[in-house]
Amino acid sequence: MTTHPLNFMALIAALAGMQAAVPVQAAISMISVQHRVWGDAGEPPAYRNFYDESGPAPLSRSADGITNTGGGNHASSTASAWSINAYRAGDAFYGNAHAQNTYVFRALSREISISLNGVIGVWWFENHAKMTLTNLGTHTLVSEYQSPFYTFINPFPIETNDMADYPFNWDTSVEVDPGDEYELIILVGAHRGEGGDGSAWLNLTIIPEPGGTLLSGIAVLVMCLRRHRRRV
C-alpha cells in the first residue's frame, strides 16, 4: 500500500500556530477544584443576612438586608470555572462580598504562563483581587499578584481618580516541577466602606510555554507516524 508523503514542516508550523488556541487545561493535569462564595448584607444582628458556601461545582449566591434606619443593602458572589466576581451595593459598611477558586494540579511542562485580567471597582482601596501559586511539595510561594488594596500603594497620580475603576492585566511565566503538586488560589472581595457600589472581578488563564507545546505536539506526531508505518 502506498502512502502520501507528509509535509513535515507544514505540520510543525500548524502546531506552532495552535498556541493561541490552547485551552487552559492543556497546560496542567487538574487534581481538584474548590469554589467558595461568601458575603453579608444588612446591619447586624437583626437586619443582617449572609451566605457562605463551597464545593467542587461553580457557585453563585447573594444576600439582601437592611439597616435599622431602613436602608437597603445587597451582596453577591460568583465563582465560575476560571473566573470570579464579587459585588455589593447599599449603605456604608453594611455589605461585603467575596469569591474564591482553589485549583490543585500538576504541570505538564517545566514552565507555565499565568494571565490575570479584571477590574477593581470604585474604590480601589476598598475592593481587591489576589492570586497565589504555591508548590505543595516544597511549601514555597512560587508567584503572587496583589491589587493595590493589599499594598496600600495608590496607583493613581491624582487623588480624585481614587473614585475611578482600576482595570488590571497581569502576566507572568514561572518554572515548575512536573513531579510536584501546585495550589493556585484566586480571590476577590468587594467592601466599599462608603455608601454606593463596590465590585471586583478576575479572569484566569493558564497556558504552557510555546516551546513545550510545540515539542509535545511533535512528540505526538512522531508517535502517530510510527504507528502509521507499522500498519502499512
Interval 116-132: pLDDT, tens: 999 998 887 889 999 99
What stretch of H or E contains 15?
Answer: helix 8-17
Higher pLDDT, 58 or 208: 58
Residue 27: partners with Cβ closer than 8 Å, 6 or more residues away: 107, 108, 109, 112, 113, 206, 207, 208
Query: ∠89-94-95 over CA atoms, to 5°?
Result: 45
Indicate whether 35 pLDDT > 50.
Answer: yes
Model pLDDT, residue 162? 64
Higher pLDDT, 25 or 205: 205
Is pTM beyond 0.85? Reply is no
Model pLDDT, residue 166? 87
Print burial letters for 83-96: b (CB count within 10 Å at least 16), e (below 16). bbbbbbbbbeebbb
Grid look-up 457557585 returns 59
The mean pLDDT of the chain is 81
Residue 37: partners with Cβ closer than 8 Å, 6 or more residues away: 51, 52, 53, 54, 59, 60, 61, 77, 78, 79, 97, 98, 99, 100
